[in-house]
Amino acid sequence: MQDFDLNQTQTALQVMDNQIIELLGQRNNLSKQVGHYKKLNNLPIQDETVAESKQRELVKFGKTLSLSPKFIRRIWRNIHHYSIQTQEQVFGKDLIRQIKKDDKTNRDQAKRQKRGAKKEKKV
């Protein structure tokens, strides 16, 4: 192993890391396009059957590259989750989710105020 060049290897790894990030960016752009298509055609964002099938394919492919199934599942889960978030943004679901959260917060505050008013009446 005397011919090993750490700097050269680290540079190669950095190039690969950049390529991975670039591919993730391209994938995200495609997810947006898919989100628009699904929105226009009234299709659901998620299809668990497709996601599970894709995960099995990736685990099988990862094994051919000597990558652990656990590692592949973890990566896929994160990529898939981000894709869903991207499509939800296209659908405007993040706004709906925030409105629901705000409504719940308002209801909780109203309940606390009612409890406080009841306590004051007792005194």
Dump pLDDT digits (tens) for 29-51. 999 999 999 988 989 999 889 99
Question: Residues near 80 by Cβ (< 8 Å), separated by ≥ 6?
Answer: 51, 54, 55
pLDDT the model gives residue 103: 72
Mean pLDDT across 86-93: 87
Q: Where are the domains of the chain?
A: 6-89, 92-123
| Class in CATH terms, 6-89 | mainly alpha
Reply yes or no on whether the pLDDT at 72 is more than 90.
yes
With 0-12 / 13-18 / 19 or more C-beta atoms within 10 angstroms meaning exposed / middle / buried, residue 50 is: exposed
Nearest to 82 by CA among 31, 6, 8: 31
Above pLDDT 70, what percent of the chain?
Answer: 88
pLDDT the model gives residue 105: 79
Nearest to 56 by CA among 71, 74, 69: 69
Tell me how far CA of residue 77 lies from CA of 8, 28, 46, 48, 80, in angstroms. 32, 14, 13, 12, 5
Amino acid, single-letter form, for residue 93 = K
The DSSP 8-state label assigned to residue 45 in this structure reads S
Reply yes or no on whether the pLDDT at 101 is more than 60.
yes
